[in-house]
Amino acid sequence: MKFRLLSLVLVMSGLTAVQAAEVNVYSARQQELIKPLLDKFSQQSGIKVNLITGKPDELLSRMQSEGRNSPADLLISTDVGRLYRAQQLGLLQPLKSNTLEQAIPAGLRDPAGHWFGLTTRARPIIYVTGKVDPKDLSTYEDLAAPKWRGKICIRSSDNIYNQSMLAGMIAVLGEEKTQAWANGLVKNFAQPPKGGDRDQIKAAAAGVCDIAIANTYYLAAMFDDPKDAAAAKAVSVFWPNQADRGVHINISGAAVAKHAPNAKQAAQLLEYMSGAEAQAWYAQTNHEYPVVTGVARSSVLQGFGEFKADNVPLVKLGELNQQAIQVMDKAGWK
């Protein structure tokens, strides 16, 4: 009887230990773009991943309202602007990890370890093949020239990708020059901004405009989508500012939540996502650029060619976000 009781206690203790080995992930990335990777982590680590997906700002509001009782362990989001916002709201805790510091370049993570970039995506000029001569393209700044009047498609000013792009320009050019650029760019819009990055590319392919500005991730994904593949094949990528500061880049990244009940497991997952296996999966499946050197890009990304990336520390994009919004508002960028 004593043996049976002891066995029962051990079994119950084992179950408790297994149940405790879990991590709660709040992800702004769609389930199909993250769950397969999380499943691989669970298989290898034995740690159960509970996934909640939602829009970025909604997840931040949820974490705020939950306060100290939030079950969130790891926040996954796109664009450094949102991760910086989460940090400013006091929703994140710093993480000291030699693994992450060695794998991820300093410019792609918060200096204090509040957030870490896991993939990068560039925001180049995308032009209609055969309609625009790439020899006529050069820099982002040139897109404000009168020769592009009525020929440019781009998302609205409330889009975080555009806000970060403007913040990057402010960091390099200063607010005055960036304001002049934004004023000229708005005059060159082919239509009032509407829709997402894919919509800008499809509008260009349909003849609404000659040039679109969009993240490489969206264009690459269009090649895999039967309904968008034709539009993707109608355009080409031009890497601007290759003679000076380089093309604007941003990240998808992750951070440990301030009140994470499973902070240790969250750190394990974050480190796993910076590893070669996870980086390769992101590159091949989601067409994003790995942050870890030596990991191969997808064939679609390879087809876009090599480029020089802007080396502005991404934390600056968060710090200058409000100035960027003010510049866009003054320019009449809707």
pLDDT at 299: 92
Dihedral sign for Cα 137, 142, 146, 148, please.
Answer: positive
Sign of the dihedral through C-alpha 88, 93, 96, 102: negative
Distances (CA, A) of 205 to 65, 117, 155: 43, 32, 16
CA distance 280 to 298: 9
Evaluate whether 2-120+251-295 and 122-248+309-331 have a shared fold.
yes
Nearest CA to 232 out of 188, 200, 209, 192 is that of: 200
| pLDDT, position 20 | 53
Using left for φ > 0, alpha for ψ between -120 and 50, and beta otherwise, residue 113 falls in left
pLDDT of residue 13: 42
Residue 291, pLDDT score: 93
pLDDT at 167: 97
Radius of gyration (Cα) for the chain, nearest Å?
22
CA angle 136, 234, 212 (to 5 degrees): 55
pLDDT of residue 285: 87
Nearest C-alpha neighbor of 163 from the set 318, 7, 299, 297: 318
- The reply to whether CATH 1.20.1250.20 applies to domain 122-248+309-331 is no
For residue 313, give the 3-state DSSP assignment.
coil
Sequence-distant (≥ 6) Cβ neighbours of residue 11 within 8 angstroms: none
Per-residue confidence (pLDDT) for residue 18, from 0 to 100: 44
3-state secondary structure of 331: helix
Q: Which pair of tokens denotes residue 50?
A: 């509970």
pLDDT of residue 318: 92
pLDDT score for 19: 53
- What's the CA gap between 313 and 330, in Å, rounded? 26
Kindly give the parts of the chain with pLDDT less than 70: 1-20
Report the CATH fold assignment for 2-120+251-295: D-Maltodextrin-Binding Protein; domain 2 (3.40.190)
Structural domain spans, the chain: 2-120+251-295, 122-248+309-331
Q: What is the pLDDT of residues 7-65, one digit of tens each?
A: 334 344 443 444 558 999 999 988 887 899 999 999 999 999 999 999 999 999 999 99
What's the CA gap between 65 and 168, in Å, rounded?
A: 31
Alpha helices in 256-334, H assignment, sequence order: 263-273, 276-286, 299-304, 315-319, 321-331
